[in-house]
């Protein structure tokens, strides 16, 4: 594998000749617009046969170079050669990070969210990405003031097609009205009757519609309802029986019980109940906010470091964004687009792409009339950093928001470097 960052004056033809890969392959894999010129800073993913891939590992108390080599089917010499200053097992220390040449791919459980505004488009997105998915969360359900779950978007055919493609479908419910409503979910959780209505209707719908479980996405839960949320999850899990309970939570790097965004989540208690938990490590740079990276790597690691003290890493997923944000600098007016769309916007406006090494994320600036725009997005470099973090902390895997957004580089990388649990 190579990541080639375009330099000023380079052409696709020259890059193609250098790597021995047809221009058409580079265009397809990277989702380029055929007629567009490439720009400096554009990161191209170039699949190659040859050297072993590099796994990322964090040393534990009982590790030795020999035991690590055995685990990754490599040699002590290969590990030493890949890590500057490493000589013997005596030079290992707990928490030390190692690069491990290995023939073994990282194996993770993944979940893709789908928004079935168009069933035809949603099924096409599922079919295009199914080999990379363990689970599909069908984002089609909401709840009433009385606690009854109901279908907000039509999911007909998605569950059946998902099972045909060996992807486990999950019924995803959100506390949406026109937006996420703290009042709605707070009032339902506080009342034992409405809480029970929600549990019973979720179980009924999941079984009736043929789902393999439920994915909960209740956002901005009032902090006062923190314990009621745990009661709800505990009762729901008991009623689901063998069906899966997946819970999505906002990201935090410490417990803030009174915070209106994250105070409603008791990570430890949620992790003890749920089959697995997804921390939403996205929207650090949020819509209508100032131009900022969407998922900076340092922030994600802080969240992971805290989350793994509360939740078993093998039950923990982080979220990867398949989108970018184009923001007007003066007003923070925000337009969302796929990562492919963001990349190709840079080619269209012919602006060089910058790469923030602290955030490990790409961005570019352009002008439309008198308005300055800044676009933050993800590319092959930023995705590799996030997968390395998953590997290093031995997490269960990741979620993708959302599979209707095109991200050719990302899926090609997964195909070549990651085994997905099925």
Question: How far from chain centre, in Å, is Cα 351?
Answer: 27
Q: What SS3 class is residue 310?
A: helix
CA distance 158 to 241: 23
Measured CA angle at 316 (ends 392, 261), to 5 deg:
115
- Is 219 noted as a catalytic residue in this protein? yes
Q: Closest Cα to residue 209, out of 165, 167, 150?
A: 150
Query: DSSP string spanning 90-106?
Result: GG--TT-EEEEEESPPE
The answer to whether residues 253 and 226 touch, using CB atoms and an 8 Å cutoff, is no
CA distances for 53 relative to 2, 104, 155, angstroms: 11, 8, 39
Would the CA dihedral through 410, 413, 419, 422 be positive or negative?
A: positive
Long-range contacts of 34-37 (CB under 8 A, 24+ apart): 36/344, 36/347, 36/348, 37/347, 37/350
Of the candidates 120, 127, 219, 254, the residue annotated as catalytic is 219
The answer to whether residues 143 and 188 touch, using CB atoms and an 8 Å cutoff, is yes
User: What is the chain's length?
Assistant: 422
CA distances for 249 relative to 71, 193, 307, 404, angstroms: 32, 24, 11, 22
Q: Using CB atoms within 10 A of its CB, is residue 363 exposed (0-12), middle (13-18) or buried (19+)? A: buried
Cβ neighbours of residue 65 under 8 Å, at least 6 residues apart? 76, 79, 80, 86, 88, 89, 92
Query: DSSP string spanning 246-298?
Result: EEEEE--SS--TT-TTTTT--HHHHHHHSSEEEEE---SS-TTS-S--SS-HH
The answer to whether residues 364 and 74 touch, using CB atoms and an 8 Å cutoff, is no
Residues annotated as part of the active site: 219
């Amino acid at each position: 594998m190579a990541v080639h960052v375009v330099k000023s004056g380079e052409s696709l033809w020259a890059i193609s000749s250098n790597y021995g890969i047809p221009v058409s392959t580079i265009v397809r894999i990277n989702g380029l617009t055929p007629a567009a010129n490439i720009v400096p800073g554009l990161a191209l993913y170039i699949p190659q046969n040859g050297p072993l891939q590099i796994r990322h590992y964090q040393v534990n108390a009982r590790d030795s170079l020999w035991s690590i080599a055995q685990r990754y089917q490599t040699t002590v010499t290969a590990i030493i050669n890949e890590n500057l200053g490493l000589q013997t097992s005596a030079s290992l220390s707990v928490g030390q990070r190692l690069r491990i040449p290995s023939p073994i791919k990282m194996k993770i459980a993944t979940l893709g969210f789908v928004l079935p505004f168009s069933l035809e488009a949603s099924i096409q997105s599922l079919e295009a990405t199914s080999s990379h998915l363990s689970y599909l969360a069908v984002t089609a359900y909401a709840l009433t003031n009385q606690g009854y779950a109901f279908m907000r978007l039509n999911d007909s055919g998605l569950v059946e097609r998902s099972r045909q493609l060996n992807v486990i479908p999950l019924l995803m419910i959100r506390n949406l009205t026109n937006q996420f409503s703290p009042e709605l979910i707070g009032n339902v959780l506080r009342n034992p009757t409405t809480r029970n209505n929600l549990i019973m209707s979720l179980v009924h719908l999941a079984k009736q519609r043929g789902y393999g479980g439920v994915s909960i996405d209740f956002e901005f839960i009032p902090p006062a309802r923190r314990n009621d949320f745990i009661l709800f999850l505990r009762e729901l899990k008991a009623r689901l029986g063998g069906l899966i309970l997946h819970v999505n939570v906002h990201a935090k790097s410490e417990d803030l019980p009174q915070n209106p965004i994250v105070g409603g989540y008791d990570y430890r208690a949620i992790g003890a109940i749920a089959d697995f938990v997804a921390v939403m490590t996205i929207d650090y740079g949020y819509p209508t906010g100032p131009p900022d990276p969407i998922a900076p790597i340092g922030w994600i690691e802080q969240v992971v470091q805290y989350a793994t003290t509360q939740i078993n890493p093998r039950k923990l997923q982080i979220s990867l964004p398949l989108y970018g944000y184009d923001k007007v600098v003066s007003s923070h007016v925000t337009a969302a687009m796929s990562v492919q769309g963001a990349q190709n916007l840079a080619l269209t406006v012919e602006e060089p792409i910058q790469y923030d090494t602290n955030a490990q994320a790409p961005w570019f600036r352009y002008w439309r009339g008198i308005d300055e725009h800044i676009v933050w997005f993800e590319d092959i470099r930023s995705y590799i950093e996030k997968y390395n973090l998953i590997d290093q902390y031995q997490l269960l895997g990741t979620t993708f928001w959302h599979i209707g957004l095109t991200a050719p580089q990302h899926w090609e990388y997964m195909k070549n470097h990651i085994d997905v649990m099925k």
